[in-house]
Amino acid sequence: MTLKNRPASSYFIEIEPKMLDANWTGELEVNIITSQDNPLPEESRAHMLHLCQLVASTVALMERRPALADELEDFLNEEDAYVESQKKRYITTSTEDNVITLNFPKETKH
C-alpha cells in the first residue's frame, strides 16, 4: 500500500484476505499502517495506535462473540436509517429542458 497523497499523520486499518488461487479462503490478516514520517508526538502516536488496535481487534472479537457482530449490524442499520432521514431534509432539485424545480421539505422555511 502506498501512502502517497495521504497525510503523514494518518493511520490505516488494512484487511487483507488470504487467497487460494483467485478465491478468498475465509481467513484474513488485519494490519495497522502509518507513515514512518508520522509527525505526531510519540505520546499521540501511542494513543492513535491503541485506538487502531481497539478497532482492529473487533474482527477477532466478533468471531469469539457473534452477538457483537449482531450489535454492530444493528448500529450500522441505525446509522443508515439516520443518514437516509437526513437526506430527506434537504432541498431536492430536478431539471427538465430549461425548467429547474426545487422541492423544499415542509420543515424548511422559505
Residues 14 and 48 in one domain: yes
56 and 76 housed in the same domain: no
Residues 22 and 45 in one domain: yes
Domain span at residue 93? 66-110
Q: Do residues 37 and 10 touch, judged by C-beta distance below 8 A?
A: no
Tens digit of each residue's pLDDT (9 = 90 or more) over 18-59: 999 999 999 999 999 999 999 999 999 999 999 999 999 999
At residue 49, the pLDDT reads 97
Same domain, 105 and 92: yes
Number of domains in the chain: 2
> Are 109 and 79 found together in one domain?
yes
Q: Average of pLDDT values for 78-97?
A: 72
Q: Is residue 56 domain-shared with residue 73, that is, in the same domain?
A: no
71 and 55 within one domain: no
Helix ranges, 1-110 (H) = 42-64, 66-87
